[in-house]
Amino acid sequence: MTLGDILQPDNIVPNLVGTDRWQVIEELVDHLVRCGRIQPQHRDAIAAVVKKRELSMSTGIGFGIGIPHASTDLIADVVGVLGRSIKGADFEALDNQPVTLVMLFLVPQGQFQKHLHTLADIAKMLHRKELRQALETAPDAAAMYAVIKAYSGQR
């Protein structure tokens, strides 16, 4: 799955307020509840599984990108949310730089191949400098979504 398959304008947060990876994860999981992608009663369990994965190694992969992710049996299909931090958040990234684009996604438990392919597709797409720049300068969620759709068909 690609960003274009996972995202819609309502699951894009153009102005994250969290200043570190833990606050950002909480904020993005809350947004998944608000936009109906995860059930409210599953919020805490999902936040916990994402944080547990994050504790094993930061998903701040460099270039201002963070991709927190996890598998859970609390969802039926891949769900995700994209957040943008104007100031940048401390993600303890591999390059020690602040993260400005955070793509949190969840894959149903037991779908290891889908998890790996989704992670690889998202990382590959977000490594494109022109895409990152377009997302960082887009005025709102709708414009960010239009950028993602425009780049989703390109390899």
* Residues carrying an active site annotation: 69
In angstroms, how far apart are the furthest CA atoms of the chain? Answer: 39
CB 111 within 8 A of CB 40: no
Distance of CA 25 to the CA centre of its chain: 9
| Tokens (6 digits) for 72 | 């859970």
Displacement of CA 58 from its chain's centroid (Å): 13
CB-neighbour burial class of residue 72 (10 A; exposed 0-12, middle 13-18, buried 19+): middle
Q: Can you name the residues that pair with 69 across neighbouring β-strands?
A: 105
| Rounded CA separation 115/7 (Å) | 16
Copy the structure tokens of residue 64. Answer: 């201002």
Q: Pairing state of beta strands 65-66 and 12-13?
A: unpaired
